[in-house]
């Protein structure tokens, strides 16, 4: 039998049955006062301790970032995208904070945005040029929302124009001549 | 294989080079996907609102399919079985699963304790690839998946993996008593289903609030409820008081979550700057629009970061708040009965069937509310073979 790394005794409420010194303990118990009904099927876990025979552990084949609020890696886990690159470094730092901390979540959002750029570089490194207009669904804009289509087209053209001007600017020429 | 590939906010593509899933655990199964929906909560990922949504992931937590491979410990399923797969990944053994809180399993998500594992819903929910693909790995396959009855239409089955149970549980958590007035915020698929299911619990009056007219028209017909556009009723809370004897609704259901419109400050801080776990406008209205001693049921999805809500009013009004991810496995037996008897018609929500190859357009159509979209279903090419 596999068990949790944490001792089951840690979870147990071992005061059960030891309340005789508290005058009136339990005299107003009302089993129907239970806002969890019918969502939660009450069993005796609250008193017996939240322990269970763990499922077999999935073999660790990739890097898994684990919540610091857990004693272990769950028996199964997803392997969609292990952390990598700069975004992965940030994610590793973020997971050092608890789920109740901004230090956990805001860096993860930052890592998500950085990984967008990493994703484009990854595409290029594989010789793939991402078709961003297609990825953002511009075909459906053309079909159902022409105004949005032309707005995005205009913004895209402006961004390309700005990039071209930046590359062709005199300062770029100057630095080229100096070298 | 072909699968949806997330590349960043508002950017997804159909990628033919995604790896086939493998059996990684004795209780795994590999499912060949026959139908996969885009959920309203997938849009939170698509819009970049859920932390730790990694580029290269495949979304999709509403899907059905055919078992094509099983791990060595699988006893209840065999290859060839057609199954509906609950969106929650549940071990069936932990204390929470044994309490039928299958949406709160403690053995499926190493990255967080607040949420159990969910297919295709970021590494914050376990890092699993989802079902918007030709094939998907399904952990704990003996626990969650249910064989689709012979008589059931595939389009009904796929909506039983999330939409119907979540809408039903939203109404269930409302503790609706005969004759109660129920207000549902959000006329997306979940809100519409919550309105529909409110009648099953004996509601006397069901009202749905949104700002998209075509959705309100759809909801009015599908769920036989009253429908109002919050852009044309002034202050929604005052309006609700006006039409409920000035006291408010008995039950309010938040079926919107973190992308609620209707308040500029919430939109800015919650959706644009991500300083909150989303825009809390719908939840505000639910708390302020419910009667004293009333119940607010929350199934709308919010991010893990703090969110601003009028907690003082919750205390002063004596409101009971109930919330959870739907416990799909617990609810499925009853919901299958409702579909068989014709009480519920899940497939009536589907407005768009899109080849998986066109996943980029499907997301954009659903996200931008184009072409009167209520519910989009993706169909992989392999589903037709």
Q: Do A139 and B368 touch (CB under 8 A)?
A: no
Residue that is written with structure tokens 């919540």 in the block: A67
Nearest-Cα distance to chain A for B95, in Å, is 6
User: Does the global pTM surpass 0.90?
Assistant: yes
**How far are the Cα atoms of A135, B92, B252 from residue B245, in angstroms, in the given order?**
50, 46, 16
Pairing between β-strand B352-355 and β-strand B376-379 as defined by DSSP bridges: parallel
Can you tell me whether residue B131 is helix, strand or coil? coil
Nearest-Cα distance to chain A for B107, in Å, is 5
Q: Do B322 and A136 touch (CB under 8 A)?
A: no
Tokens of A109: 């959002």
Cα B167 from Cα B200, distance rounded (Å): 12
Can you tell me whether residue B306 is helix, strand or coil? coil
**How far are the Cα atoms of A6, A50, A65, B106, B322 from residue A71, in angstroms, in the given order?**
7, 14, 13, 11, 28
Beta carbons of B287 and B296 less than 8 angstroms apart: yes
Q: Do B113 and A67 touch (CB under 8 A)?
A: yes
Mean pLDDT of A74-100: 97
Tell me, what's the ipTM?
Answer: 0.93
pLDDT the model gives residue A63? 97
What does the mean pLDDT of chain B come to? 97
- Exposed, middle or buried by CB within 10 Å (0-12, 13-18, 19+), for A18? exposed
Q: How confident is the model at residue A2 (pLDDT cuts 50, 70, 90)?
A: very low
Total beta-carbon pairs less than 8 A apart between chain A and chain B: 203
- Name which of B222, B178, B220, B231 is nearest B200 in CA terms: B178
- Name which of B136, B98, B90 is nearest B115 in CA terms: B90
Q: Do A55 and B140 touch (CB under 8 A)?
A: yes
Nearest-Cα distance to chain B for A160, in Å, is 19
Rounded to a whole number of angstroms, the distance between the first and last alpha carbons of chain B is: 14
Beta carbons of B105 and B172 less than 8 angstroms apart: no
pLDDT beyond 70 at A174: no
Residue that is written with structure tokens 């809370």 in the block: B237
Rounded to a whole number of angstroms, the distance between the first and last alpha carbons of chain A is: 71
Q: Which CATH architecture fits B167-323?
A: 3-Layer(aba) Sandwich (3.40)
Mutate to test the interface with B, among A66, A76, A117, A123 (most CBs of B within 10 A): A76
Closest Cβ opposite residue B361 in set A61, A120, A139: A139
Cα B310 from Cα B234, distance rounded (Å): 20
pLDDT beyond 70 at A16: no
Q: Which residues of A touch B370 (CB under 8 A)?
A: 140-141, 144-145
Residues pairing with B290 in the sheet: B249
Strand order, beta sheet including B205-210: B226-229, B205-210, B181-185, B249-254, B290-298, B320-323
Q: Which residue of A has its CA nearest to B102?
A: A40
Least confident of A27-36, A161-170, B313-322, B353-362: A161-170
Beta carbons of B31 and B65 less than 8 angstroms apart: yes
pLDDT the model gives residue B75? 96
Cα A162 from Cα A175, distance rounded (Å): 19
Mutate to test the interface with A, among B123, B201, B293 (most CBs of A within 10 A): B123
Can you tell me whether residue B330 is helix, strand or coil? helix
- Exposed, middle or buried by CB within 10 Å (0-12, 13-18, 19+), for B337? exposed
Q: Do A144 and B370 touch (CB under 8 A)?
A: yes
Domain boundaries, chain B: 3-162+327-384, 167-323
pLDDT the model gives residue B359? 98
Give residue-wise pLDDT tens across range B26-82. 999 999 999 999 999 999 999 999 999 999 999 999 999 999 999 999 999 999 999
- Name which of B251, B311, B259, B295 is nearest B280 in CA terms: B259
pLDDT the model gives residue A171? 66
Give percent of chain B above pLDDT 90: 95
Q: What angle do CA B145, B151, B157 make, to 5 degrees?
A: 40
Q: Which residue of B has its CA nearest to A42?
A: B99
Beta carbons of B329 and B102 less than 8 angstroms apart: yes
Kindly report whether the peptide bond that precedes residue A38 is cis, defined as omega within 30 degrees of 0: yes
Q: Do B107 and A75 touch (CB under 8 A)?
A: yes
Handedness of CA A97, A100, A101, A104 (dihedral sign): positive
Neighbours of B206 (CB within 10 A): 27
Q: How confident is the model at residue A3 (pLDDT cuts 50, 70, 90)?
A: very low
Q: Do B305 and A135 touch (CB under 8 A)?
A: no
Beta carbons of B218 and B374 less than 8 angstroms apart: yes
Provide the CB-side half-sphere exposure for A42 (13 A, CA). Answer: 10
pLDDT beyond 70 at A28: yes
Pairing between β-strand B376-379 and β-strand B29-38 as defined by DSSP bridges: antiparallel
Neighbours of B340 (CB within 10 A): 13
Cα B165 from Cα B29, distance rounded (Å): 23
Nearest-Cα distance to chain B for A21, in Å, is 31
Nearest-Cα distance to chain B for A103, in Å, is 10
Can you tell me whether residue B38 is helix, strand or coil? strand
Beta carbons of B166 and B190 less than 8 angstroms apart: yes
Cα B123 from Cα A64, distance rounded (Å): 10
Nearest-Cα distance to chain B for A125, in Å, is 15
Handedness of CA B90, B94, B96, B97 (dihedral sign): positive
pLDDT the model gives residue A18? 77
Cα B48 from Cα B11, distance rounded (Å): 10
Tokens of B29: 């199964």
Q: Which residues of A touch B11 (CB under 8 A)?
A: 116, 130, 132, 135-136
pLDDT the model gives residue B165? 98
Q: Which residues of B touch A79 (CB under 8 A)?
A: 24, 127
Residue numbers of chain B with a pLDDT score lower than 70: 385
Q: Which residues of A touch B124 (CB under 8 A)?
A: 108
Q: Which residues of A touch B273 (CB under 8 A)?
A: none
Examine domains B3-162+327-384 and B167-323 and report if their fold is the same. Answer: no
Mutate to test the interface with A, among B94, B298, B320 (most CBs of A within 10 A): B94
Neighbours of A45 (CB within 10 A): 16
Q: Do A137 and B139 touch (CB under 8 A)?
A: no
Cα A137 from Cα B171, distance rounded (Å): 35
Q: Which residues of A touch B109 (CB under 8 A)?
A: 74, 77
Can you tell me whether residue A68 is helix, strand or coil? coil
pLDDT the model gives residue A179? 46
Pick the CATH number of B3-162+327-384 from 3.40.50.720, 3.90.1150.10, 3.90.180.10, 3.40.50.300: 3.90.180.10
How many helical (H) and strand (E) elements, i.e. helices and strands, does chain B have?
Answer: 12, 17
pLDDT the model gives residue A1? 37
Mean pLDDT of A65-89: 96
Nearest-Cα distance to chain B for A167, in Å, is 26
Q: Do B100 and A41 touch (CB under 8 A)?
A: yes
Closest Cβ opposite residue B93 in set A53, A102, A109: A53
Nearest-Cα distance to chain B for A75, in Å, is 5
Q: Do B27 and A56 touch (CB under 8 A)?
A: yes
Mutate to test the interface with B, among A41, A140, A142 (most CBs of B within 10 A): A140
Residues pairing with B133 in the sheet: B3
Cα B110 from Cα A72, distance rounded (Å): 8
């Amino acid at each position: 039998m596999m068990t949790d790394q944490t001792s089951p005794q840690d979870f147990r409420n071992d005061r059960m049955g030891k309340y005789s010194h508290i005058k009136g303990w339990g005299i107003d118990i009302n089993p129907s006062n239970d806002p969890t009904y019918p969502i939660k099927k009450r069993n005796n876990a609250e008193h017996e301790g939240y322990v269970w025979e763990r499922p077999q552990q999935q073999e660790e084949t990739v890097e898994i970032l684990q919540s610091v609020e857990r004693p272990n890696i769950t028996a199964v886990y997803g392997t969609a995208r292990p952390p990598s690159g700069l975004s992965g470094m940030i994610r590793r730092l973020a997971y050092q904070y608890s789920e109740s901390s901004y230090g956990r979540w805001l860096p993860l959002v930052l890592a998500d945005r950085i990984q967008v750029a990493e994703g484009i570089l990854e595409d290029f490194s594989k010789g793939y040029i991402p078709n961003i207009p297609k990825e953002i669904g511009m075909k459906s804009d053309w079909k159902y929302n022409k105004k949005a289509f032309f707005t995005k087209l205009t913004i895209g053209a402006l961004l390309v124009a700005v990039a071209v001007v930046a590359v062709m600017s005199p300062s770029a020429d100057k630095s080229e001549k100096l070298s | 294989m072909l699968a949806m590939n997330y590349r960043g906010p508002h950017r997804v593509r159909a990628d033919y080079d995604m790896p086939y899933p493998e059996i990684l655990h004795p209780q795994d199964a590999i499912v060949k996907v026959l139908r996969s929906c885009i959920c309203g909560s997938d849009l939170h990922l698509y819009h970049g609102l859920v932390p730790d949504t990694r580029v290269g992931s495949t979304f999709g937590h509403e899907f059905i399919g055919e078992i094509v491979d099983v791990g060595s410990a699988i006893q209840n399923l065999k290859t060839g079985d057609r199954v509906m797969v609950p969106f929650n990944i549940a071990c069936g053994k932990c204390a929470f699963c044994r309490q039928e809180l299958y949406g709160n399993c403690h053995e499926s998500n190493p990255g967080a304790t607040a949420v159990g594992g969910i297919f295709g819903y970021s590494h914050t929910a376990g890092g699993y690839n989802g079902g918007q693909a030709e094939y998907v790995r399904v952990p704990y396959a003996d626990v969650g998946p249910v064989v689709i009855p012979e008589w059931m239409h595939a389009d009904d089955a796929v909506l039983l993996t999330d939409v119907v149970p979540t809408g039903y549980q939203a109404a269930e958590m409302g503790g609706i008593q005969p004759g109660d007035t129920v207000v549902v915020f959000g006329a997306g698929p979940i809100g519409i289903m919550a309105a529909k299911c409110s009648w099953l619990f004996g509601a006397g009056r069901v009202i749905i609030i949104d700002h998209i007219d075509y959705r309100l028209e759809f909801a009015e017909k599908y769920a036989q409820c009253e429908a109002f556009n919050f852009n044309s009723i002034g202050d929604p809370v005052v309006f609700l008081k006006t039409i409920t004897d000035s006291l408010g609704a008995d039950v309010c259901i938040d079926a919107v979550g973190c992308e609620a419109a209707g308040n500029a400050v919430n939109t800015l801080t919650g959706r644009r700057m991500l300083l909150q776990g989303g825009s809390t406008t719908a939840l505000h209205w639910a708390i302020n629009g419910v009667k004293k001693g009333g119940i607010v049921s929350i199934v709308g999805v919010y991010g893990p970061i703090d969110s601003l809500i009028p907690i003082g009013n919750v205390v002063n009004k004596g409101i009971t708040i109930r919330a959870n991810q739907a416990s799909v496995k617990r609810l499925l037996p009853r919901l299958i009965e409702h579909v068989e008897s014709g009480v519920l018609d899940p497939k009536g929500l589907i407005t768009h069937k899109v080849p998986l190859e066109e996943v980029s357009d499907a997301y954009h159509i659903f996200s931008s509310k184009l072409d009167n979209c209520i519910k989009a279903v993706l169909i992989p090419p392999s589903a037709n073979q």
